[in-house]
């Protein structure tokens, strides 16, 4: 499985961005997908995850109610980010794994990251 994240950019506080993660590989549909982020000088943080069958989603406390993770039939996982705050500034990574988890080490494949900058 190969992952390619995109959609990052500069946005003002209160604005929205939509990140996408394009996956290649015939077994993509059997993987749980997650989004993580890492701000400068901080540890990697769990953002959101979705099960391989779209049955369940889970969100980190800091983004719950503002971000939405979804999958589509084109092997893409999206992260819709609304009401963005300056503290959401980070490099965002998508990941794929056999386990549905908030832990980064549960994921087997990672995208290259896309930078989101939220100005105040």
Bridge partners, residue 67, by sequence:
81
Here the tokens at position 87 are: 């503290």
The pLDDT of residue 1: 81
Q: Do 61 and 67 touch, CB atoms closer than 8 A?
A: no
State yes or no: pLDDT of 29 exceeds 90: no
**79 burial level (CB within 10 Å; 0-12, 13-18, 19+):** buried
The helices-and-strands tally (H runs, E runs) of the chain is 0, 11
The C-alpha atoms of residue 86 and residue 99 are separated, in whole angstroms, by 31
State yes or no: pLDDT of 26 exceeds 80: no
- The mean pLDDT of 25-49, rounded to a whole number, is 91
> Which pLDDT band, with edges at 50, 70 and 90, does 111 fall under?
very high
């Amino acid at each position: 499985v190969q992952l390619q994240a995109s959609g990052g950019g500069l946005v003002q506080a209160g604005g929205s961005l939509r990140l996408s993660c394009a996956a290649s590989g015939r077994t993509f549909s059997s993987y749980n997908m997650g989004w993580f982020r890492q701000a400068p000088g901080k540890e990697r943080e769990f953002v959101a995850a979705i099960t391989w069958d779209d049955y369940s989603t889970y969100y980190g406390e800091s983004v719950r109610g503002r971000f939405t993770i979804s999958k589509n039939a084109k092997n893409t996982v999206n992260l819709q980010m609304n009401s963005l705050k300056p503290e959401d500034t980070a490099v965002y990574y998508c990941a794929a794994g056999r386990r549905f988890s908030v832990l980064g080490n549960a994921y087997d494949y990672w995208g290259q990251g896309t930078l989101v900058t939220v100005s105040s």
